[in-house]
Structure 1
């Protein structure tokens, strides 16, 4: 017996990626209304790093050079614009906030469109699982350097400003 709506894994993966990316953008916008701290900056790459467990399963494995290329691409193409547009400011309450930037939101949307287009193209040549592993590595290559640089900027501002730490 067939399904009323046949399951298309590639379409489901694309829609899932789009939904998650839009959620991240929405959460980033809301985060600028609350004070930040080192934990809030550093936990996302730590939490995301558990995703590398996917490579324990053979269908997700990719050659090391593919992974390295994806990580470096994430760093150079995706992280650098985010690093340049991520700024902190001290609020009236003496706490540190991520300053909202119109360019930051535009960059997030542009990166999303580039990533989705590349994903659609590359998945024609390799398996869906390998595509997932490749783009996870690319995303981690974006997130890790961006968050490290955010932390360094936060730390420098915190050292130069008497700040009340948030919970």
Structure 2
């Protein structure tokens, strides 16, 4: 599929795309903090992202079992950071994400880390394989984070009803 395009062009193109997507995600998250949260808003991103797993239909995106374990492990480590920094607050009887000064830095840090990893592994892994690993890493980070957010949200929601 990518045989006619030199790999360094693919690496540069996907890195630029990742930077744009990361910037977009940052602005979306910062804007979302101004609106009340709901269970639906918490759960939509993992469901929407899960469609990306269709990439594994194509051979060039498939990764070895050890690479899957590595990507999942790294994603879980990153999710712990995101879970720890995601907090809710009640304002005007609605639940909002608490604005965290650390969140933009965490997102930018994760993006920079991703670019560094991509640069380091670009010579040893195929571009498609690398894309598959980063999808697995991102999904392994997003799903536990959102489940953690949902648990915190439900606890706060329940305590608000009781109070």
1:162: how far off? 3.3
Q: Does 1:31 align with 2:7?
A: no
Q: Does 1:84 align with 2:84?
A: yes
Larger mean Cα displacement after TM superposition, 106-115 or 148-157: 106-115
Q: Does 1:98 align with 2:97?
A: yes
Q: Secondary structure at the match of 1:96?
A: strand
Residue in 1 aligned with 2:12? Answer: 11
Quote the Cα distance in structure 2 between the aligned partners of 1:65 and 1:46: 25
- Cα displacement string for residues 54-80 of structure 1 (whole angstroms, at most 9, x for unaligned residues): 11111111112211210111111x111
Residue in 2 aligned with 1:151? Answer: 150
Give the unaligned 5+ runs of structure 2. Answer: 1-7
- Cα displacement string for residues 25-63 of structure 1 (whole angstroms, at most 9, x for unaligned residues): 110000000001001001111111111111111111111
Q: Secondary structure at the match of 1:62?
A: coil
Residue in 2 aligned with 1:4? Answer: none
The total of aligned residue pairs comes to: 155
Quote the Cα distance in structure 2 between the aligned partners of 1:84 and 1:13: 29
Q: Secondary structure at the match of 2:37?
A: coil
Residue in 2 aligned with 1:134? Answer: 133
Q: Secondary structure at the match of 1:153?
A: helix
Provide the TM-score with structure 2 as the length reference: 0.91
Residue in 2 aligned with 1:162? Answer: 161
Q: Secondary structure at the match of 2:123?
A: coil
Which aligned runs of 4 or more in structure 1 are off by greater than 6 angstroms? none
Provide the TM-score with structure 1 as the length reference: 0.89
Residue in 1 aligned with 2:111? Answer: 112
Quote the Cα distance in structure 1 between the aligned partners of 2:56 and 2:96: 36
- Cα displacement string for residues 65-122 of structure 1 (whole angstroms, at most 9, x for unaligned residues): 211210111111x111111110000112x11000110012211111111111111111
Give the unaligned 5+ runs of structure 1. Answer: 1-6
Quote the Cα distance in structure 2 between the aligned partners of 1:106 and 1:46: 25
